[in-house]
Amino acid sequence: MSVRQILAGLLFMAVVVTRDRERLIKLWTTPADRKQLLLFTAFGLLFNQFCYLSAVRLTNAGTATVLQCLQLVIIMGYACVTDRRMPRTREVIGIGLALGGTFLIATGGDPTSLNISPLGLAAGLMCAVSAACMAVIPAKILPEYGSPIVTGSAMLTAGVVSCVFVQPWAHMPALDAAGIAWSLYSEIKPNPTIQNVKDGVEAFKAAEADAIVTIGGGSSMDTAKAIGIIINNPEFADVRSLEGVAPTKNHAVFTIAVPTTAGTAAEVTINYVITDPEKVRKFVCVDTNDAPEVAVVDPDMMASMPAGLTASTGMDALTHCMEAYVSTCASMFTDANALHGIREIVEWLPKSYAGDHEARQHMHEAQCIAGIAFSSGLLGIVHSMAHKTGAAFENGHIIHGAANAMYLGKVIQWNSKDPRAAERYAYVAKEILHLPGETNEELIAALVQKIRDLNDQLNIPQSIKDYANGGVKVDAENPQMVSEEEFLAKLPEIAANAEQDACTPENPRETKAADFEKILKACYYDTDIDF
């Protein structure tokens, strides 16, 4: 939080220094105003930060936030005292509702007991007091100096002071208390690059570490896998040498994986993907030696996942299940996980997208069993194309999960020319999702339409042509990311690379570069595949 305050304060100062430098200087050189600012910093920002975090630790974030809202009661009381008046009717009603809500939170309706600890209640009430101070103390200087100057100065000061005492760059209480030495490596980009891996290897060596704890989505875990493999197999220090099925001899460094997204299942798989910026491509690595030893699958870790990420990672998980089920390496063991994953994801993903906590728990578990399914059953050409189009274009990356969502229906149409795959798709449609249709053709068409409906529910584009940066649909505010000209120019190379992707061999229907060109055109223009 202190780091965020410093950054926010610096942004404010950058604007103020260029536009209103004289008033900023006046605020800091006028003793009475400077005193007011420092009181606001101490009792408004710093004390509020301490109380709020204490309340969260002693209760939970929701309870702490509600208790903090009692500041309105305190401010109304302060206003009545300073104005020498009685509360108005609406203020009395507001005070009554606020105090009644606090009573219910604190006691659950039973005045003889507390639902939260006395210390938690006290911290929450002090949080309300400090929040009231945040509103009242700067009231005299705000009209003269304006919010950017006052708030920016206070946030920058509070951030610097708290950093001096807290030292967030070198503080992890739980590990420190347990006597566990640790070092943080966080320089990981979405779609991690070769350089991210190299830097991580050096960070591991510099820390003289024994193990890796990777927290995050697929990008963090893919990077950790590559680092762990190279540390114990230094002959593969050239990250590109890990592409495909590398003949590593030693298992990766002991790794604990804590996923914060519901889609990649990287915590239980033997796959990882690295971006090669020099060659403008992604490459897939498959290695039984890279699987983490421990996976902590806790739905609370994805509680704050934004809707867009929920959508794309969820469709990634659905694609894992679909591809594992029709893969040429599928078995009874992978089928059980794949089919259950499909049922769970289709039912719960839209609800998870809307923020439902129960749905997010279902999705967190479903994406994990999807990973178990494809770790043995392997994948197909949806992923081949997603890998090779992800980093291929100049104006940005196509988000992996969104790419899978756009391509999945087209690949089902392509693969359904294979009799075994057609039977399996029809089974999913009829027995798992209970979609309408009598013949295999009707059921497969219903399955493809269901995927399109999911994309619409999740605000994912249906085609590359309609894809804008961030995985949103093209509109007036979000321009097309991949032009037709660029797509057609790069299509032959992308198709050739997709044929060589590690996921292509297990696809139920043999797919050559010329086939990939046709399929990718259908994915760009959103046309049906009937060839």
Residue 502 lies in a domain: yes
The token pair that represents 261 in the structure block: 């997204």
Domain end call among 247, 263, 295: 295
Domain end call among 275, 295, 315: 295
Residues 422 and 513 in one domain: yes
Q: What is the pLDDT along the chain (531 residues), one digit of tens a residue?
A: 666 778 777 888 888 888 888 888 988 999 999 999 999 888 888 888 788 878 877 877 767 777 777 777 788 788 788 888 887 887 778 777 766 776 676 556 665 555 667 887 888 888 888 888 888 888 889 888 988 888 888 888 887 887 666 665 556 767 777 888 888 898 888 889 999 999 999 999 999 999 999 999 999 999 999 999 999 999 999 999 999 999 999 999 999 999 998 888 999 999 999 999 998 888 999 999 999 999 998 888 877 788 999 999 999 999 999 999 999 999 999 999 999 999 999 999 999 999 898 999 999 999 999 999 999 999 999 999 999 999 999 999 999 999 999 999 999 999 999 999 999 999 999 999 999 999 999 999 999 999 999 999 999 999 999 999 999 999 999 999 999 999 999 999 999 999 999 999 999 999 999 999 999 999 999 999 999
Q: Whole domain around residue 149: which residue ranges?
A: 2-171
What pLDDT does residue 332 have?
Answer: 96
Closest CA to 255 of 281, 290, 230, 279: 290
Residues 246 and 284 in one domain: yes
SS3 state at 281: strand
Residues 6 or more apart whose Cβ sits within 8 Å of residue 346 = 318, 433, 450, 454
Q: Put residue 110 in one of left, alpha, beta given phi > 0 → left and psi -120 to 50 → alpha.
A: beta
CA distance 399 to 389: 9
CA distance 51 to 131: 10
Residues 414 and 472 in one domain: yes
Phi, psi of 69, deg, nearest 5 = -65, -10
What pLDDT does residue 484 have?
Answer: 97
Closest CA to 389 of 314, 464, 327, 461: 464
Residues 6 or more apart whose Cβ sits within 8 Å of residue 78 = 132, 136
Q: What is the DSSP string of 473-488?
A: EP-SSS-BSS-HHHHH
CA distance 471 to 481: 10
Quote the distance between the C-alpha of residue 347 and its chain's center. 21
Query: Taking the CA of residue 17 as centre, how many other CA atoms within 13 Å lie in the half-sphere pointing to its CB?
Result: 7
Residues 380 and 520 in one domain: yes
What pLDDT does residue 114 have?
Answer: 54
Residues 6 or more apart whose Cβ sits within 8 Å of residue 300 = none
CATH of the domain at 328: 1.20.1090.10
Residues 117 and 150 in one domain: yes
Residues 208 and 101 in one domain: no
What pLDDT does residue 398 have?
Answer: 96
25 and 182 Cβ atoms separated by less than 8 Å: no
CA distance 28 to 37: 8
CA distance 296 to 298: 6
Residue 188 lies in a domain: no
CA distance 150 to 146: 6
Helix ranges (DSSP H) in 108-246: 118-136, 142-145, 147-166, 173-177, 194-207, 218-232
Amino acid at 118: P
Range list of β-strands (E), 142-217: 212-216
Residue 182 lies in a domain: no
What pLDDT does residue 108 have?
Answer: 63
What pLDDT does residue 249 have?
Answer: 96
What pLDDT does residue 262 have?
Answer: 83
CATH of the domain at 282: 3.40.50.1970
Closest CA to 368 of 340, 327, 393, 390: 340
Tens of pLDDT, residue by residue over 208-256, are 999 999 999 999 999 999 999 999 999 999 999 999 999 999 999 999 9
CA distance 270 to 205: 23
CA distance 31 to 163: 25
Give the H/E segment covering residue 521.
helix 513-525
Q: Which residues pair with 193 in a beta bridge?
A: 275
**Number of structural domains in the chain:** 3
Residue 332 lies in a domain: yes
Helix ranges (DSSP H) in 354-418: 357-377, 381-390, 400-415
CB atoms within 10 A of CB 277: 12
Residues 326 and 444 in one domain: yes
391 and 505 Cβ atoms separated by less than 8 Å: no
379 and 323 Cβ atoms separated by less than 8 Å: yes
CA distance 36 to 154: 10
CA distance 488 to 518: 11
What pLDDT does residue 82 have?
Answer: 83
CA distance 75 to 70: 9
CA distance 154 to 138: 10
Residues 27 and 75 in one domain: yes
Residue 184 lies in a domain: no
Residues 202 and 317 in one domain: no
Closest CA to 466 of 450, 453, 484, 449: 484
> Given the structure tokens 């507001």, which residue do they identify?
94
Closest CA to 489 of 362, 365, 393, 354: 393
SS3 state at 83: helix
Residue 115 lies in a domain: yes
Residue 145 lies in a domain: yes
Residues 155 and 241 in one domain: no
Residues 213 and 261 in one domain: yes
What pLDDT does residue 155 have?
Answer: 84
CA distance 135 to 130: 9
What pLDDT does residue 294 have?
Answer: 95
121 and 129 Cβ atoms separated by less than 8 Å: no
CA distance 45 to 39: 9
Residues 6 or more apart whose Cβ sits within 8 Å of residue 438 = none
Residues 363 and 321 in one domain: yes
